[in-house]
Amino acid sequence: MSQKETIVKVLRYIRRYRFRVILSLVLAAVTVALTLYVPILTGDAVDLIIDKGLVDMPGIFAIMKKIGVVMILTAAAQWIMNTCNNYITYHVVKDIREDAFHRLENLPLKYLDSHASGDIVSRVIADVDTFADGLLMGFTQLFTGVITILGTLIFMLVTNVPIALVVVCITPVSFLVARFIATRTYSMFKLQSETRGEQTALIEEMIGNQKIVKTFSREESVKQQFAQINDRLEGCSLKAIFFSSITNPATRFVNSLVYAGVGIFGAFVAIRGGISVGRLSCFLSYANQYTKPFNEISGVVTELQNALVCAGRIFALIEEEPQVPDAEDARVLKDARGNVALDHVYFQYTPEKKLIQDFNLKVKPGQRVAIVGPTGCGKTTVINLLMRFYDVDQGSIAVDGTDIRKITRGSLRTSYGMVLQDTWLRAGTIRDNIRMGRPQASEEEVIEAAKASHAHSFIKRLPQGYDTVITEEGGGLSQGQKQLLCIARVMLTLPPMLILDEATSSIDTRTEIRIQKAFAKMMEGRTSFIVAHRLSTIREADIILVMKDGNIVEQGNHESLLAQGGFYSELYNSQFAI
Amino acid sequence: MSGMKKLFVYLKDYKKETVLAPLFKLLEAFFELMVPLVMAGIIDRGIVDRDMGYIGRMGLCLLALGIVGLVSSITAQFFAARAAVGFSAKLRQALFDHIQDLNFTNIDKAGTSTMITRMTSDINQVQSGVNLVLRLFLRSPIIVFGAMIMAFTIDVKSALVFVVAIPLMAVVVFGIMIVTIPLYRRVQAALDRVLGITRENLTGVRVIRAFHQEQKEEERFTEGNRVLASLQMFVGKISACMNPVTYVIVNGAIIALIYIGAIQVNMGNLTQGEVVAIINYMSQILVELVKLANLIITVTKALACADRVAAVLEIRNEEPGAAKPGVVSEASVPPFLEFDHVSLTYQGAGDKTLNDVNFKVKKGQTIGIIGGTGSGKSSLVNLIPGFYPATEGTVCLEGSDIRSIPEEELRNRIGMVPQKAVLFKGTIRSNLQWGKSDATEEEMWEALETAQALEVVEGKAGGLDAEVAQNGRNFSGGQRQRLTIARALVRRPDILILDDSASALDYATDARLRAALRRIEKETTTFIVSQRASSIMHGDQIIVLEDGEVAGIGTHEELLERCQVYQEIYYSQYPEKAGDRPEGKNQPEKRNEDGSANAVTGGAGGAVKNTDGTGGGAAGDDKGEAGAGKGGR
């Protein structure tokens, strides 16, 4: 995305607030004009204070009144302008975030699976924030800065051309100095951030796994490792910070050159009567104001460039191809009977790596299908296809005779109750988590579901029972307990079909059996798909799919597969080979 | 504020710098404040007296002031940078060392992710805060008060305007700061919420889509986002007051100065040039205040972060309870390892995790520990290296309380394979050196062989020097697990603890591993924690845990005879062996009747009852099902 395109897109968001933008621009002009007017008034007043007995008191009173009015107006305009800018910035940011989130909810799983979630989060949060800072700064400082420069320039040229030329000639020097320093320090900053990255990696590794560090009594050696990086970081930080901090004194020095130049040159002009003392004092304060925005603008420009880069990253997310929307005539699947048919299905995640090829399967209502195979063999892929997290490349999957691409995603997915090995709970109360699929469920139903999934007894023992708030990582709960909650969540929705992907892998075998019994009762007459590596779990299945390297190598029931003496029997027997 | 104060300790090595930096700032400010005086001279003597030479001399004087200012300013920046960078380097090291020294209880309490943020982003914020304060923040007060003092040297009456204006401005600046700091905290909280929802929707995308909650999630996000925007607007409105209000105060002061100046000049007490100088001083204050306002947010953020950093530094390790002196056991030859009425309650937890655990272990024995999820298996083995101190009772190694053995000495005798198989960035060799820093090539290969990890190393280019990515990402779960076992073995520990360490291994590899462990020459006492009966059934002793209490200790055969919990576990994993189950020898028979009753009244009802701890019903159920399974075959 080119910078120009990004700017166009940003402008499209801002357009909604165009009246406020115009107001803000007008107010910026007003503020600057009034701010520049005050030194003129002050200068005029100084010209009225000439010497003992030569003071025009009534004139001074008039000017004082004027300054008072101008000052109140300036303050008011400034405040309204700031508020306007805040409004525009925060609302644009809000709109962008909303659009980004909306897209997030509609992105195909393919995108989300292949992009680190941390990166996406940082786009929605950190990048948008940086963009907001840049935008706000752009609004408040860039406009006023440019207008201030123009305003002072015009005034100075009108008042006295030679003195103005002195100012105009010297000021760009400060610009150059700032640039010079910035380019020289760039490599130092790069080194600093690289070293910092290295240190952060070490911190994450060692503090993240601190118990292991302590287990092996490696604290001292880890501390030394840290100290070594820390020393390097100190060295390059010092350089980067010191050399970049010269910018300020250097530009200030240039400013004082401007000031001295105006002072001397102005004084010579004043002697010849080319300018009054009041005007000269006014000129001096302009000299200060004129150079200031130059320094600011160079800062703002880098900030804006940074903001545009961030905006580009967010827009890239927002413009990502969404999943194919549900077809217009898509059917709403209601009370599915549980006929699932996979017909010559082909699927692969990446074109290079073939995965599922010519996969056929017919599941009658109420049948239990188990999928087995070593880790990484593609068991989860089947689930991805059934849930339509991914679409098949060729062939079709049908539920109750309808191709799932002709069923609305929502109704297809809610027809399945899904429990995954990767337990996911949201930050919130236990009750909210269980009720996720059916927010209107009554307290009794929630408890009923929790009891059926054997979660009730541990929930009861938690400090606030069902109102206990759990964190995003489910902190405080063991993996097994989290799995029980995920099961309760599905138990509550009573879907017509079930998908259990290693749903009980972290639960001890005794509890597992109890849960399976609850499942068995629930699954009565419901079609279910079970992924498991504990072969004891799947023995009862009607159909067992044995997968290896993405292919279905064997298909049948426990007895027939054992009789076959193939891969399944090998897997099964290894369990008892002691 | 208090947090920052505690962190000042780390500035003490930079006393010289912290004094010199503001001192040179002061010098710079002084030269800057001379400028209006020189200008007043140019106006009053140069212009009025038409003294060209004087103007020239004063011009050079201005230039000289600029150069001296530049030099002292750069010097100040240098010392400031040195102090700030040195300070944060010291602080970072201190915090890292401190965290490394925390005990397990405190690690749990503080939380890993929190500590990582404190270590990284919080400290960076503090560093930039200190930097700003030393470099820029101190400049503003110096200029403000310097300007006032200079005004006094010119004219006392005019200077009184400064005396009124400066406190007024201070009230405004600090008032807005005090009001907005808590508000910024709320903004941060609102942003955290938006971030939380976003992250949830990424990590839980499958579940959310499976429940078709996309619409509701968007509503949740929109609401969080709206709250954030309106809070930002609110804070924005207040901080937007800063510049206009200070502007009004400064210009009000200028009006007053013009008035007083006019009267004074009229009376002949003051010259025109001096009035210009005084007004200039006031304008200088305005410029400084605008700069200050821009810095305040960074400084307040740094203060908040300093609090968070200081909070971590304040965590202190409690002393574990005093060790019982001398030999505890009455036996003439103390057992190798003994748990004597040991209970453990985690800090902040209500219930005991382990309750009155008693057992003795002979040197060289293999101990299996089995039990349900959350029954306290890991907690039990974590007591052996003293990761957590026993709340009651004692753990004794060769007769002495482990609390009396120096931590490092104790841990060096133990090879621990934790549940989570983590490797560190480096090479396979450097990871194995964690177990023993001076391990020879031979020792490493031997450990790898026992751990069934030879094929892992041979499969990687570079052998022992094959690269290991952070967290061992470039190895599969099973490979990592075998390497962590090798890491523990390389030190040839007296006690080897495998905490559910074979869960990612297939049954065949698991079996080979256990066979290899038995072949180790050195007399190693091995603890195996597992949920798989097959992993522990050949142990010399098996400890069965249930809800933190010992439900049975003995060999596989003994437990199968008399320990009901063990029976349940075993038969749930080996249903086909249920037929060989000894009949009519023990209690479960009686329970069988309850179980049948439950089975008749319906599975769900029975299940509900079981959760409340009536294990009997479950036992019956299990047996019933197992029997049925067998019958069907």
pLDDT digits (tens, 9 = 90+) for B537-576: 888 999 998 878 888 999 999 998 888 888 888 887 776 6
- Residue A113 within a domain: yes
B411 and chain A: CB distance < 8 Å anywhere? Answer: yes
User: Do B606 and B598 contact (CB within 8 A), yes or no?
Assistant: yes
CB contact under 8 A, A104 and B506: no
**pLDDT at residue A70, as a whole number:** 94
**B489 band by pLDDT with thresholds 50, 70 and 90:** very high
Q: Which positions 118-177 of B are in contact with A (Cβ < 8 Å)?
A: 119-120, 124, 131, 135-136
Query: Do the strands B495-499 and A551-556 form a parallel or antiparallel pair, or are they unpaired?
Result: unpaired
Closest residue in chain A to residue B406, using alpha carbons only: A217
Nearest to B158 by CA among B266, B263, B43: B263
Round the average pLDDT of chain B to a whole number and report it: 80
Domains of chain B: 2-313 (1.20.1560.10), 337-551 (3.40.50.300), 574-632 (no CATH)
**A65 pLDDT more than 90:** yes
CB contact under 8 A, B135 and A521: no
Same domain for A95 and A129: yes
Locate A428 and state its tokens: 């919130």
CB contact under 8 A, B58 and A124: no
* Residue B156 to chain A, least CA–CA distance (Å): 18
CA quadruple B44, B50, B53, B55: dihedral sign: positive
- Residue A233 within a domain: yes
Query: Domain span at residue A377?
Result: 325-415+538-578
Chain centre distance of CA B428: 27
- Backbone phi and psi for residue B454, each to the nearest 5 degrees, phi listed first: -60, -45
Q: Which positions 75-94 of A are in contact with B (Cβ < 8 Å)?
A: 75-76, 78-79, 82-83, 86-87, 90-91, 93-94
**pLDDT at residue A537, as a whole number:** 67
Same domain for A330 and A212: no
**pLDDT at residue B609, as a whole number:** 33
Nearest to A213 among B84, B100, B241 (CB): B100
Burial (0-12, 13-18, 19+ Cβ within 10 Å), A221: middle
* For testing contact with chain A, the best of B51, B212, B214, B630 (most A CBs within 10 A): B212
Check which CATH number belongs to the domain holding A562 and give it: 3.40.50.300
**A122 band by pLDDT with thresholds 50, 70 and 90:** confident
* Residue B257 to chain A, least CA–CA distance (Å): 10
**B601 pLDDT more than 50:** no
B207 and chain A: CB distance < 8 Å anywhere? Answer: yes
**pLDDT at residue B64, as a whole number:** 92
- Residue A529 within a domain: no
Provide the 3-class DSSP secondary structure of residue B365. Answer: coil
For A510-537, how does the pLDDT look when each residue is reduced to its tens digit (9 = 90+)?
777 777 777 777 777 788 898 876 666 6
Which residues of B are less than 8 Å from A574 in CB distance?
Answer: 506-508
For B354-411, how does the pLDDT look when each residue is reduced to its tens digit (9 = 90+)?
889 999 998 888 999 998 766 788 889 989 988 888 888 899 988 888 888 888 888 8
* Paired strand residues for B499: B529
**B580 pLDDT more than 70:** no
Residue A576 vs residue B243, higher pLDDT: B243
**A80 band by pLDDT with thresholds 50, 70 and 90:** very high
**B252 band by pLDDT with thresholds 50, 70 and 90:** very high
CA atoms in the 13 A half-sphere facing the CB of B555: 5
B225 and chain A: CB distance < 8 Å anywhere? Answer: yes
Q: Which positions 197-226 of A are in contact with B (Cβ < 8 Å)?
A: 200-201, 203-219, 221-223, 226
Q: Which positions 584-603 of B are in contact with A (Cβ < 8 Å)?
A: 603
Tell me which of A239, A274, A309 is where a domain ends: A274
CB contact under 8 A, B608 and A416: no
For A366-425, how does the pLDDT look when each residue is reduced to its tens digit (9 = 90+)?
888 988 876 666 777 888 899 999 999 999 999 998 899 999 988 999 889 888 877 788
* Residue B332 to chain A, least CA–CA distance (Å): 32
% chain B with pLDDT above 90: 18
Same domain for A146 and A55: yes
**pLDDT at residue A535, as a whole number:** 65
Which residues of B are less than 8 Å from A284 in CB distance?
Answer: 39, 280
Which residues of B are less than 8 Å from A244 in CB distance?
Answer: none
Q: What is the mean pLDDT of residues A554-568?
A: 86
**B420 band by pLDDT with thresholds 50, 70 and 90:** confident
B572 and chain A: CB distance < 8 Å anywhere? Answer: yes
* Residue B474 to chain A, least CA–CA distance (Å): 15
**A112 pLDDT more than 90:** no
User: Do A377 and A547 contact (CB within 8 A), yes or no?
Assistant: yes
Long-range contacts of B318-326 (CB under 8 A, 24+ apart): B318/B103, B318/B105, B320/B386, B320/B389, B320/B403, B321/B389, B321/B390, B321/B403, B322/B403, B323/B394, B323/B400, B323/B401, B323/B402, B323/B403, B323/B404, B324/B394, B324/B401, B324/B404, B325/B404, B326/B400
Closest residue in chain A to residue B247, using alpha carbons only: A75
B52 and chain A: CB distance < 8 Å anywhere? Answer: yes
- Residue A197 within a domain: yes
Same domain for A137 and A7: yes
**pLDDT at residue B575, as a whole number:** 65
**B629 pLDDT more than 50:** no
Spatial separation of the C-alpha atoms in residues B81 and B128, rounded to whole Å: 10
Check which CATH number belongs to the domain holding A127 and give it: 1.20.1560.10
CB contact under 8 A, B62 and A461: no
Number of A:B CB contacts under 8 A?
Answer: 449
- Residue A492 within a domain: no
Residue B257 vs residue A211, higher pLDDT: B257
CB atoms within 10 A of CB B156: 11
**B54 pLDDT more than 80:** yes
**B600 pLDDT more than 60:** no
Nearest to B572 among A78, A458, A513 (CB): A513
* For testing contact with chain B, the best of A124, A281, A334 (most B CBs within 10 A): A281
CB atoms within 10 A of CB B44: 17
Which residues of B are less than 8 Å from A205 in CB distance?
Answer: 424-425, 470-471
* Residue B52 to chain A, least CA–CA distance (Å): 7
ipTM of the shown complex: 0.82
Round the average pLDDT of chain A to a whole number and report it: 84
* Residue A312 to chain B, least CA–CA distance (Å): 19
Domain count, chain A: 3
Nearest to B616 by CA among B597, B592, B600: B592
Q: Which positions 240-269 of B are in contact with A (Cβ < 8 Å)?
A: 240-241, 243-245, 247-248, 251-252, 254-255, 258-259, 261-263, 265-268
**pLDDT at residue A102, as a whole number:** 92
**A140 pLDDT more than 80:** no
Closest residue in chain A to residue B509, using alpha carbons only: A574
Same domain for A221 and A96: no
- Residue A525 within a domain: no
Same domain for A19 and A65: yes
**pLDDT at residue B630, as a whole number:** 33
Nearest to A518 among B437, B573, B604 (CB): B604
Same domain for A141 and A69: yes
CB contact under 8 A, A511 and B373: yes
Q: Which one of A448-457, B319-328, B551-560 scores highest in mean pLDDT?
A: B551-560
Element holding B401 (H helix, E strand)? strand B400-401
**B492 pLDDT more than 60:** yes
Same domain for A154 and A102: yes
A518 and chain B: CB distance < 8 Å anywhere? Answer: yes
Same domain for A264 and A167: yes
Spatial separation of the C-alpha atoms in residues B536 and B533, rounded to whole Å: 6
**B99 pLDDT more than 70:** yes
B434 and chain A: CB distance < 8 Å anywhere? Answer: yes
Provide the 3-class DSSP secondary structure of residue A322. Answer: coil
- Residue A341 within a domain: yes
User: Do B250 and B285 contact (CB within 8 A), yes or no?
Assistant: yes
Spatial separation of the C-alpha atoms in residues A117 and A108, rounded to whole Å: 14
Same domain for A165 and A149: no
Residue A113 vs residue A408, higher pLDDT: A408
For A149-172, how does the pLDDT look when each residue is reduced to its tens digit (9 = 90+)?
888 888 888 888 888 888 888 777
Query: Do the strands A497-501 and A527-531 form a parallel or antiparallel pair, or are they unpaired?
Result: parallel
Same domain for A15 and A70: yes
* For testing contact with chain A, the best of B100, B223, B227, B230 (most A CBs within 10 A): B100
Spatial separation of the C-alpha atoms in residues B397 and B98, rounded to whole Å: 29
Nearest to A102 among B206, B218, B371 (CB): B218
Nearest to A109 among B89, B205, B385 (CB): B205
- Backbone phi and psi for residue A496, each to the nearest 5 degrees, phi listed first: -70, -20
Residue A571 vs residue B330, higher pLDDT: A571
**A346 pLDDT more than 60:** yes
Nearest to A451 among B77, B424, B611 (CB): B611
* Residue A357 to chain B, least CA–CA distance (Å): 24
For B108-154, how does the pLDDT look when each residue is reduced to its tens digit (9 = 90+)?
777 777 788 788 778 888 888 887 787 776 778 888 888 888 889 88
**pLDDT at residue A72, as a whole number:** 94
Which residues of A are less than 8 Å from B132 in CB distance?
Answer: none
Closest residue in chain A to residue B376, using alpha carbons only: A478
- Residue A301 within a domain: yes
Long-range contacts of B520-525 (CB under 8 A, 24+ apart): B520/B450, B520/B489, B522/B492, B523/B363, B523/B364, B523/B494, B524/B364, B524/B492, B524/B493, B524/B494, B524/B495, B524/B496, B525/B336, B525/B337, B525/B361, B525/B362, B525/B363, B525/B364, B525/B365, B525/B366, B525/B367, B525/B494, B525/B495, B525/B496
* Residue A240 to chain B, least CA–CA distance (Å): 9
**B345 pLDDT more than 70:** yes
Q: What is the mean pLDDT of residues A31-56?
A: 85
Q: Which one of A348-357, B8-17, B252-261 scores highest in mean pLDDT?
A: B252-261
**A560 pLDDT more than 80:** yes
Same domain for A137 and A11: yes
Q: CA dihedral defined by A115, A119, A124, A127, rounded to 10 degrees?
A: -140
CB contact under 8 A, B240 and A82: yes
User: Do B137 and B299 contact (CB within 8 A), yes or no?
Assistant: yes
**A474 pLDDT more than 70:** no
